[in-house]
Amino acid sequence: MNGSDSKSRILIQLDPDLQPSVFDSVVAVDAGADILLRHAGVTPEQVQNLVHGAIFTRGPEDLHNTAIFIGGSQVSQGEALLNAVVKSFFGPLRVSVMLDPNGSNTTAAAAVRVAAKECQLAGATSLILAGTGPVGRRAARLLAREGSAVRVGSRSVERAASVCQKIGQQLAGSTLSPHATETEEQTSAALDGVQVVIAAGAAGVRLLSADLLRASTGLQVAIDLNAVPPAGIDSIEVVDRAVGRHGISCYGAIGVGGIKMKIHKAALRRLFDDNQLVLDAEEIYSLASDMGL
Amino acid sequence: MNGSDSKSRILIQLDPDLQPSVFDSVVAVDAGADILLRHAGVTPEQVQNLVHGAIFTRGPEDLHNTAIFIGGSQVSQGEALLNAVVKSFFGPLRVSVMLDPNGSNTTAAAAVRVAAKECQLAGATSLILAGTGPVGRRAARLLAREGSAVRVGSRSVERAASVCQKIGQQLAGSTLSPHATETEEQTSAALDGVQVVIAAGAAGVRLLSADLLRASTGLQVAIDLNAVPPAGIDSIEVVDRAVGRHGISCYGAIGVGGIKMKIHKAALRRLFDDNQLVLDAEEIYSLASDMGL
Amino acid sequence: MNGSDSKSRILIQLDPDLQPSVFDSVVAVDAGADILLRHAGVTPEQVQNLVHGAIFTRGPEDLHNTAIFIGGSQVSQGEALLNAVVKSFFGPLRVSVMLDPNGSNTTAAAAVRVAAKECQLAGATSLILAGTGPVGRRAARLLAREGSAVRVGSRSVERAASVCQKIGQQLAGSTLSPHATETEEQTSAALDGVQVVIAAGAAGVRLLSADLLRASTGLQVAIDLNAVPPAGIDSIEVVDRAVGRHGISCYGAIGVGGIKMKIHKAALRRLFDDNQLVLDAEEIYSLASDMGL
């Protein structure tokens, strides 16, 4: 193995779905991967052999030119693959890996970066609607890490409490509280005193009415991550990007999409700088923040 | 997304077969695709997500660098995938797509281009033997579009009539007639007054005897698309390319193959000029004709 | 098809496993393949269509730029695919093909090359422990071809005898003998008068004790191909590369791995020089020998 024969940047795409994601592949190509090794229907049991193929082929000084991306539509399956990948490394024989199933990490990072530009997060209070899903949980973690008090909203206050408890265990000194947000009254109460609201619900579920948005006097930024009508936050348009509505800076899913795509590509490029990285939500957020995205 | 990071020409290969076609991939590479995203076992239900990955990644000005090729061995499955692809576009957010399962479109286009060079099609009469299969139906459509009266031959005159009816509905003013061509007498009758005959049958099925070929006085060009012996038209060799036999210019499958390959590559290259193209039989034929192929 | 449009080196990777080997792909990229067409779960029945796609796309003068690599974890399945590939060629319309499932050919070639550098093989006596497995059988063939008398060791002397008989039929004038090597006494007897010993057993199976190694006075080189502890030959370290132990030049699996990788890449590069090669164990060994590896 001489240095010159192993310069191609190889990205191994691990996808639990039946068809590997075209989205993930196109972004990887545009971020500079020379060769994609795409794997669909990947199970945790299959991961070790695939990872060994990545770490036992190129010399240690060239391992930074090989990396792994874990995508697909199912976040929990992606997380299981990440665990299996990390367990398969052999000490220094490892390659960098990025986790972004269903865009969950890059979406959460983009939403919190947008919030950070509109509002001083340290000391602020934020509300995540549908905060127990993959994007919501990640956004809550990132906001808490930035020093915001975080309210996790959910139809089920028990699920919200469970999310708060887990994040609290990971982040000492953070302030998280669970809120039922099923009814208009509950959501109104949860919004009281909040500067940042992020709606992270499923496609087509209305989480916040136009009336409540208009009545939220202290609110500085409202971000709706739902791209499929009806909007998660009524009156926000999917293309809104810092559009002022009722004195609130509003963002829709496509409005956040530009920065999300930049973060996604920046994180992919970063993979090839080093063979030691594990890029999960926090690392992706930090990278975006460091780059001024 | 800046312009410079998305210049790779990405071809998404959708194939319903268990293994994606090597044939389709090699031709795509030789036609200039930089990156192939190959998908096997594709069902119509899976198409939307794949297409969204194609149209929601690159900016509108770069979408012409992404395209879709639908191949595989089963024409009807390919047609179902094309329908699903077109339904998945979002207004101007679309990419160009080419349909050529089992080479059906490029083969039919090549056969009719060859015929057009040997004979003035407008006003001529053509006979398609085994005219109800995927290639036969396409050749019939293309010939009718060029102004030839078209006789569709089949063992089943009912199936032939159905093909004529469908094409007639699509092409106002066209002249199509169904012919039973099971027996020597029937085939002889169908050949009477014909200038162009194309045999588009299954591998190894003899459709036209040497006696009939010899007796067809008005015939100008005979094209046999069967590459596996015995020939579909007796006495035509698979490598025949404008070989005169009984005063008729004869072509075998390999003799047509050179122009078929040129048409296939030209159509693939065309995909990356524009993001709006749907290249089915007619568009592929027109493109070949415009290029003088 | 003009010459300039078909210069990309395309490697078709046929793999019987559910996921195509990342190892095989990374090495292929580093050996200079421009495009990988990776196929997983390949059965012999699927091979013909894939091979036809390789041989019926590029012109005869460009076929050397397309090649086939057969890998995966199962040697017998790989051998079945190779048979199907060779049967699918059409006279001169063929592409070069390399067989290396589970690294069996490159590992056996590397082990015998290492032995050849330490010892004059012609006239020597060699013992292969676990000589009936895929690597063992190949090493035995290569040693016999170099003029060494070969002892094939196995827990089952019947299986060993069967391997000796098959190789003897292929190589006239070769000297092969089966040896039971289940007990310490049997292995000691098999080692008597041997200059070369190669342990080709399954991971974690101890085949030779340190006591026997120390007592083997005529032994010049000992090669252990097992990378997973415990070592197949006790007291050899996995990274040993010509390490003297008890006067014997010792090699472990990683110690042989460097030359194995060089042989693997050299063989892959060779595929693209010519469209007529079938690189199985003997051809890979000869190629390595010719290059001074």
Q: Smallest Cα–Cα separation from C235: which of C256, C208, C217?
A: C208
Query: Under a CB-based contact definition with an 8 Å cutoff, are residues C270 and C241 in contact?
Result: no
Query: Under a CB-based contact definition with an 8 Å cutoff, are residues B220 and B192 in contact?
Result: no
DSSP A65: G
pLDDT of residue A81: 98
Of C1, C5, C12, the CB nearest to B22: C12
Of B42, B46, B66, the CB nearest to A26: B66
Q: What number is the average pLDDT over the span B159-182?
A: 96
pLDDT of residue A155: 95
Taking CA atoms, C114 is separated from B2, C27, C143, C196, C289, in Å, by 52, 21, 11, 10, 10
pLDDT of residue A7: 83
**Other beta carbons less than 10 A from residue B50's beta carbon:** 23
pLDDT of residue C1: 36
Query: Under a CB-based contact definition with an 8 Å cutoff, are residues C201 and C129 in contact?
Result: yes
DSSP A255: H
State the distance between the two ends of chain A, measured CA to CA, in whole angstroms.
38
pLDDT of residue C183: 95
Q: What is the pTM of this model?
A: 0.94
DSSP C105-163: HHHHHHHHHHHHHHS--TT-EEEEETTTSHHHHHHHHHHHHTT-EEEEEES-HHHHHHH
Angle, CA of C43, C44 and C45, to the nearest 5°: 90
- Residues from chain B that touch C57, judged by Cβ atoms under 8 A, are 22-23, 26-27, 30, 261
pLDDT of residue C229: 84
Taking CA atoms, A252 is separated from A223, A227, A261, in Å, by 6, 7, 14
DSSP C56: T
Interface test with C, best of B30, B74, B107, B262 (most C CBs within 10 A): B30
- Whether residue B5 and residue A30 make contact (CB cut-off 8 A), yes or no, is yes
Residue of C nearest to A10 (CA): C26
B19 touches chain A (CB under 8 A): no
For the domain bounded by C10-99, which CATH number is listed?
A: 3.40.50.10280
Mean pLDDT in chain B?
A: 95
Dump pLDDT digits (tens) for C18-71. 999 999 999 999 999 999 999 999 999 999 999 999 999 999 999 999 999 999
Query: Under a CB-based contact definition with an 8 Å cutoff, are residues A256 and A77 in contact?
Result: no
d(CA B41, CA A18): 9
Torsions phi, psi of B170, nearest 5? -80, -35
pLDDT of residue C10: 98
Instruction: Specify the CATH architecture of the domain B106-256.
Output: 3-Layer(aba) Sandwich (3.40)
Dump pLDDT digits (tens) for B179-234. 999 999 999 999 999 999 999 998 889 999 999 999 999 999 999 999 888 999 99
- Residues from chain B that touch C58, judged by Cβ atoms under 8 A, are 26, 30
Is residue B126 predicted with pLDDT exceeding 50? yes
Residue of C nearest to B37 (CA): C37
pLDDT of residue B171: 95
- Mean pLDDT, each 10-residue run in order, chain A (293 residues): 63 98 97 97 98 95 97 96 97 96 97 97 98 96 98 97 96 96 96 97 91 95 92 94 96 95 98 97 97 91
Dump pLDDT digits (tens) for C75-93. 999 999 999 999 999 999 9
Query: Residue C240 — very low, low, confident or very high, per pLDDT cuts 50/70/90?
Result: very high
Mean pLDDT in chain A?
A: 95
Of C18, C23, C31, the CB nearest to A56: C23
* Beta bridge partners of residue B208, listed in sequence order: B233
Is residue C214 predicted with pLDDT exceeding 80? yes
- CA distance, residue C250 to nearest chain A CA (Å): 22
- Residues from chain B that touch C42, judged by Cβ atoms under 8 A, are 19
Asked if domains C10-99 and C106-256 share a fold, the reply is: yes
Q: What region, left, alpha or beta, does residue A147 occupy, with left being phi > 0 and alpha being psi -120 to 50 degrees?
A: left
Cα Rg of chain A, angstroms? 20
A26 touches chain B (CB under 8 A): yes
Which stretch of A227-236, B65-74, B111-120 has the lowest confidence by average pLDDT?
A: A227-236
Is residue C177 predicted with pLDDT exceeding 90? yes
- CA distance, residue A82 to nearest chain C CA (Å): 17
pLDDT of residue A228: 84
d(CA C8, CA C6): 6
Contacts with A135 (C-beta within 8 Å, 6 or more apart), sequence order: A104, A107, A108, A111, A200, A225
Query: Residue B3 — very low, low, confident or very high, per pLDDT cuts 50/70/90?
Result: very low
d(CA A138, CA B150): 65
d(CA A291, CA A285): 10
Size of interface A-B (CB pairs under 8 A): 57
Is residue C2 predicted with pLDDT exceeding 80? no
- CA distance, residue C284 to nearest chain B CA (Å): 26
Q: Long-range contacts of range C83-90, CB-CB < 8 Å, 24 or more positions apart? A: C83/C44, C84/C44, C84/C45, C84/C47, C84/C48, C84/C51, C85/C14, C85/C47, C85/C51, C86/C278, C87/C48, C88/C47, C88/C48, C88/C51, C88/C52, C88/C55, C89/C51, C89/C55, C90/C55
Of A1, A12, A41, the CB nearest to C30: A1
Pairing of strands C248-251, C241-245: antiparallel
Please tell me which residue, C1 or A242, carries the higher pLDDT value.
A242
Query: Residue C4 — very low, low, confident or very high, per pLDDT cuts 50/70/90?
Result: very low
Q: Which helix (H) or strand (E) holds C168?
A: helix C157-170
- Residues from chain A that touch B37, judged by Cβ atoms under 8 A, are 20, 22, 25-26, 36, 38
Q: Smallest Cα–Cα separation from A107: which of A75, A150, A84?
A: A75
Contacts with A251 (C-beta within 8 Å, 6 or more apart), sequence order: A111, A114, A221, A222, A223, A224, A236, A240, A241, A242, A243
Boundaries of every domain in chain B: 10-99, 106-256
